C-alpha cells in the first residue's frame, strides 16, 4: 500500500536509500601485517625501543632531581648540579654549564666536565655580562620575563 500525500492525494515522494554494503571485518580494515617486510618491522621495533629507553632515562633523571630537592635543606647548589648532570647525560653532551640570569648579568651556578679555563673565567667575578652574539646573550636578549634560569649544554 502506498502512502498518499496530503495535497491532491498524489503519492508522496519517497527517499531512496543507498544500497548497503556488507561491513568489512576488523581484520580487513587494519593494515595488513603481511605486507610489512621483516626489515621494516625490525626498524620499527628498534625505534620504539630507543624511544622507550629515552623515556626511562628522562623519568630516572626526574626522579633523581626530585630526590635531591626533597633531601636538600634549602641549598640550591646540589639541585643545580644534579639537574645539569642529568641534562648532560641525556643530551650526550661533552660538558654543560648552568647560569642564573639576573637582569643583564649572569652568574655561573654549576658545571659538568667544564674545561678548567672556562670555569676560571666564569668564577673570576661574581657576575659577568655574556659575550655579544653568544648563546647565553641570545637567551638574555630574547627573555621576556618567563625564563629566570637557563641550562646551556654544549654538544
Residue 31, helix vs strand vs coil? coil
| Spatial contact of 102 and 126, defined as CB atoms under 8 Å apart | no
Q: How high is the mean pLDDT of the chain?
A: 77
Cβ neighbourhood burial of 93 (10 Å; 0-12, 13-18, 19+): middle
| Spatial contact of 99 and 108, defined as CB atoms under 8 Å apart | yes
Which of the pair, 117 or 70, is modelled with greater confidence? 117
> What is the structure's pLDDT at 115?
92
Quick check: 49 pLDDT over 90?
yes
Task: Kindly report, residue by residue over 119-148, the tens digit of the pLDDT.
Answer: 888 888 788 888 888 888 887 888 654 444
Task: Kindly report, residue by residue over 57-95, the tens digit of the pLDDT.
Answer: 888 888 888 888 778 777 888 888 888 998 888 888 899
User: pTM of the entire structure?
Assistant: 0.53
- Nearest-CA neighbor of 15 among 29, 1, 27, 3? 3
Measured distance between the N- and C-terminal CA atoms of the chain, rounded to whole angstroms? 83
How far is the C-alpha of 49 from the C-alpha of 84, rounded, in Å? Answer: 25
Which of the pair, 148 or 29, is modelled with greater confidence? 29
Provide the H-helix boundaries in 30-146.
38-71, 77-91, 116-123, 135-141
> What is the structure's pLDDT at 46?
94
User: What are the residue boundaries of the structural domains of the chain, listed by start?
Assistant: 38-154
> What is the structure's pLDDT at 150?
47
Strand-pair category, 149-154 with 105-112: unpaired
Quick check: 35 pLDDT over 70?
no
Quick check: 8 pLDDT over 50?
yes
Beta bridge partners of 108: 99
Amino acid at each position: 500500500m502506498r502512502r498518499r500525500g496530503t495535497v491532491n492525494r498524489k503519492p508522496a515522494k519517497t527517499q531512496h536509500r543507498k544500497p548497503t554494503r556488507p561491513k568489512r571485518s576488523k581484520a580487513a580494515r587494519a593494515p595488513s601485517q603481511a605486507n610489512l617486510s621483516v626489515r621494516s618491522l625490525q626498524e620499527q621495533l628498534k625505534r620504539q625501543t630507543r624511544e622507550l629507553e629515552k623515556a626511562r632515562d628522562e623519568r630516572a633523571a626526574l626522579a633523581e632531581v626530585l630526590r635531591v630537592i626533597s633531601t636538600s635543606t634549602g641549598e640550591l647548589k646540589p639541585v643545580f648540579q644534579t639537574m645539569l648532570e642529568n641534562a648532560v647525560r641525556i643530551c650526550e653532551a661533552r660538558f654543560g654549564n648552568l647560569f642564573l640570569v639576573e637582569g643583564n648579568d649572569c652568574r655561573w651556578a654549576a658545571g659538568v666536565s667544564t674545561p678548567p679555563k672556562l670555569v676560571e673565567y666564569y668564577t673570576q667575578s661574581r657576575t659577568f655580562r655574556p659575550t655579544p652574539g653568544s648563546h647565553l646573550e641570545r637567551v638574555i636578549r630574547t627573555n621576556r620575563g618567563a625564563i629566570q634560569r637557563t641550562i646551556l649544554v654544549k654538544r
